[in-house]
Amino acid sequence: MCGIAGILGYDGRPVFADELSAMCDVLAHRGPDDEGFHLGQGIGLAMRRLSIIDLKTGGQPVRNEDGSILAVLNGEIYNFRTLRRELERGGHAFRSASDSECIVHLYEELGPRCVDRMRGMFAFALWDGRRRMLLLARDRLGIKPLYYAEAGGRLLFASELKAILQIPEIERSLSFSALNRVFTAMCTPCAESIVAGVRKLEPGCLLTATAGRGARVERYWEPRFRRPAAGSEDDLVEELRARLDESVRLHLVSDVPVGAFLSGGIDSSAVVGTMARIAGGRLKTFSIGFAEQEFSELSAARQVARRFGTDHHELVFEPGGVDFLEDLAWHLDEPFGDSSALPTYLVSRLAARHVKVVLSGDGGDELFAGYDKYLVEARERRLARLARPIRGILRAAAGALPDGARGRNLLYHYSLAGSDRYLDASTLFRSRDREQLFRPEARERMAQHDPWAGAREVLERPGAAWLSGLQELDLRSYLHLDILTKVDRTSMAHGLEVRVPLLDHELVEFAAALPPELLLRGATTKYLMKRAVRGLLPDAIIDRRKQGFAVPLGAWFRGPLAELVRDLLLSQTARRRGLFDPAYVETLLRRHDDGRDLALQLWTLVSFELWCRVFLDRPPRAPQARRDRRAGRPPAARPSGAAQAAGAPAAGI
């Protein structure tokens, strides 16, 4: 696991060492163990390394036999041993035992399509000195990030946005299309960042760049829910078990100890149970919960930990422990509306005190239809047929009610049809609310962009079952923009590698071919997955009601955090930005105090304001506390159970 960065000069002008060093310095948390650089004519590659495989000789950049091809990798290639054996039989000579060295030799054989043979999570940059071509690649599901920008006749790239912002040619100005997406869907778009001109390489994509042709992006893989799987239900259950075993086995390859996140849900519990059976020894597991029992899954996590005899560690997150908010904003890189980033940051910090690698159960809800919203959509599709004749009446009734009136949003919701109705349920601030939230100039610039355009295209694609369309949309957007972004940034903040065995692309392709009736059966979500893990997990874990990873911010924002939120959102600093109408922000705060649950809306505003303070108001450079993750003070969360650990750095707001 690493952080990578680099610069390609289209006109061949030199890349300077201090530029690469500045980019690497702000990525030190991603790779606290080592660093590496290459400077050539018009090209510079850099990396920070977290040593996981081949601790002694696995440094980067890696090179082919004659040094004409170099690469830097962020991530892991899990099938590297198989690839290495094939390449050695073909005459390739290796200098190390690392997974990253396979990339340069595989490229010699297959060119840019070398990615087709890789199983793993990766973002890598490869320089072909003979062709003077730069290749950037990102894994199929978007587990590892990669940003890039073109400015001043150069192409810049890095694992995190803040590294690109170290280069003076990049102007720190807002992308209003990305801003619109943040306040609609809580995160930035697939291909854009919050900074105008800085883009993301999308999952399953390659970028090639040469001096004569500039940069060109192409897609090499995408999820499709089309082809029906062959075999009986029993056969598919057995195949799922075998594929889960194989993927977990691959993800356990490491030269350092591997632990696991354990939420108490089916997916993380299945991963832990499979790890315990395969790996042997006493596995370390890590959980976080809340004093508010309706939000906490600690009891379920403890039950699974007891079942598999793990060395279990947990934290209880309380509202007094949020003095890391500015640090979190710095690590998240962009405004981020999912408040579960808060506990994920803390449980990552806990795990990093014990291990360098953990496995997680992320991806199971998307692949096997585990979200309650899929059940809601099944019910609403039936109700929508009944509402069809009176949609106009419902729309008029909603429009007649004043803003903030109870029932207004529900009437409006049922007045919509098809994809618009489904997307409305996922919308943070509806268009009418955004019109009131933003001042006219910002509103005018945002109105030029439809934040749901790409989503409608997926949902309205002909020929696919409605459930498959929802799953495909979540795999293409929500999974990597929210879930995987959150996990990558909050774990790498503490030099912790998180691996996601449910997102091995061969397992994903198997799941995408499953008939919808084996995923959602009546009121049972994740039907086939539950059958596959019956016997491995306690029945009480399989049959318990799903509980999302939610934070009790609603109560906290009315109580212990009320003053903090008000001070941030109504400060003179926030007012001077001229983006939001302070009177409407006051209205939101008042409505929340009066009992409306606007916690996510308020948290998104808080996240945006913190981002502005960290990235727009001053240069995004890591303070000394962030560069030395072993210095600091005791943790913000209260240890309970088996958890006893020293503190990590935290920067207050």
Tokens 């879930």 map to which residue?
483
Q: How far apart are CA 220 and CA 208, in angstroms?
A: 13
172 vs 94, 215, 271, 608, CA distance in Å? 42, 22, 41, 15
Q: How far apart are CA 283 and CA 311, in angstroms?
A: 6
Alpha helices (runs of H) in 460-544, residue ranges in sequence order: 466-473, 484-492, 505-512, 527-533, 539-543
Cis before 61 (ω within 30):
yes
For residue 66, the SS3 value is coil
Between β-strands 154-158 and 147-151, what pairing exists: parallel, antiparallel or unpaired? antiparallel
Question: Which pair of tokens denotes residue 336?
Answer: 């981020």
Concerning whether 2 is annotated as a catalytic residue, the answer is yes
For residue 376, the SS3 value is helix
CB 254 within 8 A of CB 358: no
Q: How far apart are CA 605 and CA 613, in angstroms?
A: 12
CB 231 within 8 A of CB 514: no
Q: How far apart are CA 335 and CA 313, in angstroms?
A: 30
- Cβ-based neighbours of 352, under 8 Å, separated by 6 or more: 491, 494, 495, 496, 629, 648
Q: How far apart are CA 607 and CA 438, in angstroms?
A: 16
Q: How far apart are CA 17 and CA 305, in angstroms?
A: 48
Question: Which pair of tokens denotes residue 422?
Answer: 């489904």
Question: Which pair of tokens denotes residue 452?
Answer: 């749901």
Q: How far apart are CA 581 and CA 559, in angstroms?
A: 24
Question: Which pair of tokens denotes residue 45?
Answer: 């590659």
Q: What is the DSSP string of 308-367?
A: HT-EEEEEEE-GGG-TTHHHHHHHH-S----TTHHHHHHHHHHHHTT-SEEE--TTHHHH
Query: Of the residues 2, 102, 187, 612, which is catalytic?
Result: 2
Per-position b or e across 497-530, b if 16+ CB within 10 A of its CB: bbbbbbbbbebbebbbbbebebbbeeeebbbbbb
Q: Based on C-alpha coordinates, what's the Rg of the chain?
A: 24
Please give the positions annotated as active site. 2
